[in-house]
Amino acid sequence: MSPSFFPWLHRSLLAGTALLLAPLGCVTSTQSAERDEAVLRMDSPPRVKPKWGLVIHGGAGVISRENLSPEREAAMRAVLTQALQAGHAVLAKGGKSLDAVTAAIHVLEDSPYFNAGKGAVFNHDGVNELDAAIMDGKTRAAGAVAGVRHIQNPIDLARLVMEKSPHVMMVGDGAEAFAQSQGMPLVDAKYFYTEERWQGLQRALEQERAKAAPPATPAAPPATPDQQPPATPGTQAAPPATPGTPAVPPTTPGTPATPPTKPGTPAAPPTTPATPPTTPGTQATPPAKPGTQAAAPLTPGVDPITGDHKFGTVGAVALDQEGNLAAGTSTGGMTNKRYGRVGDAPIIGAGTYADERCAVSATGHGEFFIRYTVARDICARVEYQDLPLPEAANVVIHDVLVKAGGEGGVIAMDREGHVAMPFNSSGMYRGYIGEDGTPTVAIFQQP
């Protein structure tokens, strides 16, 4: 390997561009390009021993240096590095790509810094609901779970669905009942509580209330003496208002006036953290009754730790020594999500996909990734248009999604070891590790 290879990779990672990591070998660049083109254009490519490696992400969005302290950034980089090393340890021993993906996502799910597992955000009812999916590129077997509340590592349950059931996706109570039938314990919902995520929910609720509140009706200007209508006989004329004092509507008798909340002041959290019930399927707070004030439109929340606009998801794709690909994704969804909302992460073909040519894990505004089947679209362009993986990923993220108004990114890998990690936001937590075991991690679009 050229000594300049990994510095070049590091610069490319920091730039946030799609990468073309040529397979290693004793061939010239021209020979390598010709071989790559030939392999991509053959229906049944020859079995060659490809380069192997692992790519991960921890979410994309508006991620700025100003809102990420050096200490927090260092801690998050350390977790990303640990995840890369965990997956690499599996691959280096000849392990399966599925096992490497699972090992890497475990580390990210166990960290409070990322929106998955332990670090999952709260929904509107103050409950953590988690989604995950995993897919085997060799067989196209897949498993997914959505809306689970008591599973410590949802990626493990997604894999159980794939390997121990005839189904692809399970949700909510049924998924947790299946987990118990397979010997997987349920954890108390308090396991997922973090103060940062709770405060993030409080801010989101306050913003929602502010958006839903009807605008105040301006007071009518006082009438001039010539315009003032005569008082009804027997009634006391109201004294004129002091100049500059707004008119105050009378309160209903017996009802004290409530002082308004100061703008920008979040609702105070309870003295005791809201703990979702441990019984699967129950809610911490009952839904609003019909006829109540409609909530403001749902939008991706602000990261409660950094204050940035971030789409919280974690994912991994891997290529093992046998040339098999796998992809996995795990998430806590959107802060303040409602009505059982499920994003793209557990949807095969949208947020997670792998076949014998390509593996993709996505992060971004899930509704767009679902509607445009982003993960599958990238692999389909590789399969049917003979596009190199980086080009296919770039087209979908920087052209298709941007035109649709979608924001986010992907990590992807093909069977020859080429890697792509494009994103159309200002940042994406991401990393790569190859055969030599050197992890490379990046966050921002620019160095």
Contact between 143 and 187 under an 8 Å Cβ cutoff? The reply is: no
- Encode pLDDT of 273-330 as tens digits: 444 434 333 434 433 433 333 333 334 444 444 444 456 899 999 999 999 999 999 9
User: Residues forming the annotated binding site for substrate?
Assistant: 341-344, 363-366
* DSSP bridge pairs for 310: 61
- The residues pairing with 135 across neighbouring beta strands, listed in sequence order, are 142, 327
User: What is the predicted pLDDT for the residue at 283?
Assistant: 39
pLDDT at position 163, please? Answer: 99
In angstroms, the CA 252 to CA 54 distance is 66
Instruction: Give the CATH number for residue 432.
Output: 3.60.20.30
DSSP state at residue 136: E
Both tokens of 379, joined, read: 């692999």
Instruction: Point out the residues that are catalytic.
Output: 313
Residues 6+ apart with CB under 8 A from 22: 29, 32, 36, 418
Where does residue 272 fall: left (phi above 0), alpha (psi -120 to 50 degrees), or beta otherwise? beta
Strand partners, 329: 133, 315
Q: Distance (Å, rounded) from C-alpha 295 to C-alpha 277?
A: 24
Encoded tokens for 215:
């605008």
Does residue 372 lie in a domain region?
yes
Query: 162 CB contacts (<8 Å, ≥6 apart)?
Result: 134, 135, 136, 141, 142, 143, 168
Give the integer Cα–Cα distance in Å for 360 and 223: 68
pLDDT digits 0-9 by tens, 367-402 = 999 999 999 999 999 999 999 999 999 999 999 999
For the chain, the average pLDDT equals 79
Average pLDDT over residues 31-46: 34
Res 320: pLDDT: 98
| Nearest Cα to Cα of residue 316 among 113, 135, 73 | 135
The residue range of the domain holding 437 is 50-197+304-444
Structurally, the chain folds into a number of domains equal to 1
Question: Distance between CA atoms of 24 and 404, rounded to whole angstroms?
Answer: 37
Binding residues: 341-344, 363-366
pLDDT in tens, 427-440: 999 999 999 999 99
Query: Do residues 339 and 321 lie in contact, with contact meaning Cβ atoms separated by under 8 Å?
Result: no
The larger pLDDT score, comparing residue 263 to residue 323, is at 323
Identify whether 238 is part of a domain.
no
Instruction: Please name the helix (run of DSSP H) or strand (run of DSSP E) that holds residue 374, with its range, or none.
Output: helix 374-384
* Range name among 53-67, 94-108, 260-274, 300-314 with the lowest pLDDT average: 260-274
* In-domain check, residue 230: no
Indicate the pLDDT class of residue 218, thresholds 50, 70 and 90. low
**Residue 13 confidence class, pLDDT cut points 50, 70, 90:** low
User: Is 21 among the domain residues?
Assistant: no
User: Does residue 251 belong to any structural domain of this protein?
Assistant: no
Q: What residue type is assigned to position 204 of the chain? A: A
The predicted model scores a pTM of: 0.73
137 inside domain: yes
Residue 413 φ/ψ, nearest 5 degrees: -150, 145
